[in-house]
């Protein structure tokens, strides 16, 4: 992976390069920022530059033995930890069980998200996490001497998925790592990382991709009219994964399953059609925890967009991020989302998310959410 492969973030790239040139590389870095901004690829590009034997002024050489192995994600001094699921009762849930899929996943794009990773693992119906056994593997690997490079690099993707036991086991290693060891934590949600880990890392904020950078990147890859590219840039709001999803819908490659679920749910909730809502809850309960959580996050986003559309229709082109399908639905739906019910609706969806994350009964959670939503949609604005 090269710095040039990642759109934007010019200043951050230069700071990382300078830290290597000045021999001031921190032993524990935290790359934090929103999904779809290329932060995982940035971490790999930095690790490759760190180990490159013939560094250029602004990037890795790409031809030395280290770079060649990095590009195949097989360098013996590069290690990864990422969310996984337990395959069998006798199998430890550790990243090495999925390393083949991980290499393909990382190499396929410069932009990565949990939903895509679960699909790659074929475990969309399970909750992924980083477990205590993983910390034991980290300690064992990093206590060995490096094979080829001056540095051993451990990239931990989504440390917010690390459970308390795993986090606590990792603390001492983060505080006093072996010589020439670099941790790079790549996170989207720092609020769910324990404070003692946060305090041991140097935070580098990776922002969303700028509109101009996004525009040029899409224009280079796809043969769309200028107005269509601008629409994609506006809807994606700096998230290249979202841009790819919008493009797939435009080109007819996929349907937005979350939108279909949301529209069905809201239509039948407003009409208080209990049999249909019961069926909806049963079907969603079968889909798996991560899919359920993804839907709830999507629903919260769409509720927010409809509230803004309701209270500020004149500014919708500046602050609303909806696809054409979502916009067509929201033109009629937004009047039911207003200042009087938005707080309660948001609380109910957040509570459902928390219950799902704690392995609650999906059918009961979603049916309860449906009945409460049906009542709140009838609330009149004040």
Q: Checking DSSP bridges between strand 202-205 and strand 181-187, what pairing results, if any? A: unpaired
pLDDT at 254: 44
The structure tokens listed for 131 are 């477990």
pLDDT for res 313 = 65
For residue 34, the Cα-to-chain-centroid distance in whole angstroms is 7
Instruction: Give percent helix, percent strand, percent coil of the chain, each to the nearest 5.
Output: 60, 10, 35
Beta-sheet pairing, 78-81 with 152-157: parallel
Q: Which of 118, 105, 84 is nearest to 292 (CA)?
A: 118
Give the Cα separation of 289 and 356 in Å (integer).
7
51, 150 Cβ separation under 8 angstroms: yes
Q: Do residues 232 and 218 make contact, with C-beta atoms less than 8 angstroms apart?
A: yes
CATH node for 3-205: 3.40.50.300
Q: Categorise residue 237: left if φ over 0, alpha if ψ from -120 to 50, beta otherwise.
A: left
Phi, psi of 358 (to 5 degrees): -95, 20
Each of the 382 residues of the chain gets a pLDDT tens digit; together they read: 899 989 889 999 999 999 999 989 899 999 999 999 999 999 999 999 999 999 999 999 999 999 999 999 999 999 999 999 887 655 788 899 899 999 999 998 889 998 889 888 877 667 788 988 888 888 888 888 778 888 899 999 999 998 888 888 888 888 888 888 999 999 998 888 889 899 999 999 999 999 899 999 888 887 787 888 888 888 888 899 888 877 776 644 444 788 889 999 999 999 999 999 999 999 998 887 878 888 998 899 899 889 988 887 665 555 556 777 888 898 899 999 999 999 999 999 999 999 998 888 999 999 999 999 999 999 998 8
Distance CA 151, CA 28 (A): 13
Distance between CA atoms of residues 366 and 364, nearest Å: 6
Determine whether 56 is exposed, middle or buried from the number of CB atoms within 10 Å of its CB (0-12, 13-18, 19+).
exposed
Long-range CB contact pairs, 137-144, < 8 A, 24+ = 137/81, 137/94, 137/95, 137/96, 138/79, 138/81, 138/170, 138/173, 139/169, 139/170, 139/173, 141/79, 142/79, 142/173, 142/177, 142/178, 142/181, 143/178
The sign one gets for the Cα dihedral 70, 73, 75, 81 is positive
Sheet containing 28-32, strands listed edge to edge, beginning at the edge strand earlier in sequence: 78-81, 152-157, 181-187, 28-32, 202-205
- Inter-residue contact 284 to 248 (CB < 8 Å): no
Closest C-alpha among 131, 32, 43 to residue 84: 131
> What is each CA distance from 109 to 37, 113, 117, in whole angstroms?
12, 11, 12
Looking at the chain, the number of H-run helices and the number of E-run strands are: 18, 5
Note the pTM of the prediction, 2 decimals: 0.74
SS3 205: strand
Quickly list DSSP for 330-372.
HHHHGGG--TTTHHHHHHHHHHHHHHHHTT--HHHHHHHHHHH
Phi and psi based region of residue 272 (left: phi greater than 0; alpha: psi -120 to 50; beta: remaining): left
Domain ranges of the chain: 3-205, 210-254, 255-377
Q: Report the b/e string of 12-35 with b at 16+ CB within 10 A.
A: bbeebbebbeeeebebbbbbbbbb
Q: How many C-beta atoms surround the C-beta of residue 266 within 10 A?
A: 22
- Pick from 69, 373, 27, 18: which is nearest to 200 by CA? 27
Residue 355 CB neighbours (<10 A):
18
């Amino acid at each position: 992976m090269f710095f040039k492969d990642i759109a934007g973030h010019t200043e951050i790239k230069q700071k990382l390069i300078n830290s290597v040139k000045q021999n001031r590389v921190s032993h524990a870095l935290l790359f934090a920022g929103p999904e779809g901004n290329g932060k995982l690829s940035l971490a790999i590009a930095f690790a490759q530059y760190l180990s490159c034997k013939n560094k250029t002024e602004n990037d890795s050489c790409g031809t030395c033995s280290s770079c060649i192995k990095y590009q195949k994600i097989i360098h013996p001094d590069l290690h990864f930890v990422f969310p996984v699921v337990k395959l069998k009762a006798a199998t430890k849930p550790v990243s090495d069980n999925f390393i083949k899929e991980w290499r393909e996943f990382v190499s396929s794009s410069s932009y990565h998200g949990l939903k895509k990773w679960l699909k790659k693992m074929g475990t969309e119906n399970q909750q992924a996490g980083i477990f205590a056994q993983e910390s034991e593997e980290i300690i064992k690997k990093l206590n060995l001497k490096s094979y080829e490079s001056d540095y051993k690099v451990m990239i931990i993707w989504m440390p917010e998925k690390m459970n308390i036991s795993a986090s606590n086991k990792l603390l001492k290693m983060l505080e006093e790592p072996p010589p020439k060891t670099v941790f790079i934590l790549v996170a989207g949600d720092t609020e769910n990382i324990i404070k003692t880990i946060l305090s041991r890392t140097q935070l580098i904020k990776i922002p969303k991709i700028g509109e101009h950078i996004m525009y040029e990147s899409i224009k280079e890859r796809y043969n769309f009219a200028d107005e269509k590219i601008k629409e994609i840039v506006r809807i994606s709001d700096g998230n290249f994964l979202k841009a790819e999803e919008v493009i797939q819908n435009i080109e007819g490659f996929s349907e937005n399953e979350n939108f279909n679920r949301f529209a069905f749910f809201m239509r039948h909730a407003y009409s208080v059609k209990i049999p249909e809502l019961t069926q909806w809850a049963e079907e969603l309960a079968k889909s798996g925890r991560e899919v359920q959580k993804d839907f709830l996050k999507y629903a919260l986003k769409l509720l927010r967009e409809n509230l803004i559309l309701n209270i500020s229709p004149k500014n919708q082109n500046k602050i609303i991020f909806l696809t054409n399908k979502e916009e067509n639905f929201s033109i009629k739906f937004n009047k039911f989302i207003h200042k009087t019910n938005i707080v309660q609706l948001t609380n109910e969806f957040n509570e459902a998310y928390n219950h799902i994350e704690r392995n609650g009964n999906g059918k009961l959670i979603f049916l309860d959410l449906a009945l409460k939503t049906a009542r709140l949609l009838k609330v009149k604005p004040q």
